[in-house]
Every structure is written in structure tokens, then in C-alpha cells.
């Protein structure tokens, strides 16, 4: 078994939210580690699972495992199965990450703010509906999948073509991307 390394090239602004507000500056902020944007392995696993299930529906459970069940029945617990592969967090390339961790002013250039508001049937902005969202500029992130053999690597390369968007507001123009080895 080996490690499958891949890149995520963003073609538009994108955001994987932290679930936290940004106070006065933004209603939602990008998930960060040491001030730099990341995409957790759990999020990536879901994207990969969806793309893989389109290309290889009969092999999803073998590699990704069963979805966790919420019932307390004994037989339901037996259906839970871990997958054979593990997903790492996507981060900026190491050299860029090291440079930006030591330069807080430059790292702030990775982010921008997008605003949106609700519009009523008369095409007027609804009062108190203005929202600000922190987004990340188009960049390249790197990630890894552990536990990959040669046969699975070929399948992952085929499946990755099906991942075209990542993060929040994907159907509002954010998160267009290209996965590549």
C-alpha cells in the first residue's frame, strides 16, 4: 500500500466554512489552520466518495466503508465497516505554507469578502438580510490518501474527474476546481 498524492486547483473563489462567525467583519469565515486555508480529510472523503460511487458503484463500500448508522439495534451496528483508505487534510504546498506562516500580512491576501442579500418579490432588498462571507482566492492545495494500491490509484484518477466543485455556495459560483495527480 502506498500514498496517493493529488492537487486541488481552484478556478474561482471558494470557502470551506469553519462554522464560526467572523464578528463584525463576516458572518462566516474560511476554515483555517495557523491562519491558512485547509480542507479537512472528512470533507474530502465525502467528495471522493460521491465521485467514486458514480464511476465504480459496486466498490464504494470496500474502499470507503459503510456510512455510520444512528440506530441502536445490534444488527445495525454489525453493518458499520471502515474503509480501506484514509484521507488527509488538504493544505497549501509546504514551501508556500512556511513562507506565509511567517508573514501575516501576506497571508491576509489569501482572503476576500463576498456579500449577499435576500431580495423580495418587488426586487427590493429585505431589511437585515445582508450577509458577508469570507472566501479564499483561487489557489492550489495538496492532499494525500493513504492505503492506496496500484489498481485503486487508477480508479481514483478516473473518479477525480467527477469532482468539479468544493465547499460552500457551490451552486452560487464558488468552489470551481480541478483535481489532478
Q: Which domains does the chain have, with CATH numbers?
A: 2-66+74-180 (3.30.70)
Element (H, E) at 32: strand 32-33
pLDDT at residue 75 in the model: 47
As a whole number of angstroms, the distance between CA 89 and CA 83 comes to: 17
Cα–Cα nearest to 87, from 140, 146, 129: 146
How many of the other CB atoms lie within 10 Å of CB of 63? 19
Element (H, E) at 131: strand 131-136
Between 32 and 119, name the one with better pLDDT.
32
pLDDT, tens digit, 9 for 90 and up, residues 101-151: 888 888 889 998 877 777 888 888 778 767 788 899 999 999 999 999 999
Q: Please say if the pLDDT value at position 57 is more than 60.
A: yes
pLDDT at residue 70 in the model: 56
Element (H, E) at 147: strand 140-148
pTM, two decimal places: 0.82
Q: Is 13 exposed, middle or buried (0-12, 13-18, 19+ CB in 10 A)?
A: buried
Query: Is 27:131 a contact under the CB 8 Å cutoff?
Result: yes
Largest Cα–Cα separation, the chain? 60
Map grid coordinates 450577509 to a residue: 131
Q: How far apart are the first and last CA of the chain?
A: 17
As a whole number of angstroms, the distance between CA 33 and CA 52 comes to: 28
Q: Please say if the pLDDT value at position 180 is more than 90.
A: yes
Amino acid at each position: 500500500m502506498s500514498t496517493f498524492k493529488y492537487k486541488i486547483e481552484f478556478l474561482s473563489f471558494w470557502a470551506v466554512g469553519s462554522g464560526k462567525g467572523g464578528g463584525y467583519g463576516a458572518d462566516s469565515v474560511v476554515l483555517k489552520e495557523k491562519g491558512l486555508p485547509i480542507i479537512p480529510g472528512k470533507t474530502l472523503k465525502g467528495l471522493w466518495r460521491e465521485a467514486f460511487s458514480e464511476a465504480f458503484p459496486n466498490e464504494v463500500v470496500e474502499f470507503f466503508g459503510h456510512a455510520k448508522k444512528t440506530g441502536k439495534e445490534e444488527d445495525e451496528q454489525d453493518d458499520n465497516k471502515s474503509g480501506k483508505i484514509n484521507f488527509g487534510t488538504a493544505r497549501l504546498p509546504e514551501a508556500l505554507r512556511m513562507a506565509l506562516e511567517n508573514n501575516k500580512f501576506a497571508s491576509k491576501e489569501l482572503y476576500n469578502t463576498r456579500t449577499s442579500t435576500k431580495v423580495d418579490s418587488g426586487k427590493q432588498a429585505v431589511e437585515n438580510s445582508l450577509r458577508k462571507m469570507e472566501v479564499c482566492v483561487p489557489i492550489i492545495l495538496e492532499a494525500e490518501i493513504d492505503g492506496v494500491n496500484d489498481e485503486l490509484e487508477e480508479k481514483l484518477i478516473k473518479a477525480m474527474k467527477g469532482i468539479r466543485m468544493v465547499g460552500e455556495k457551490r451552486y452560487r459560483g464558488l468552489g470551481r476546481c480541478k483535481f489532478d495527480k
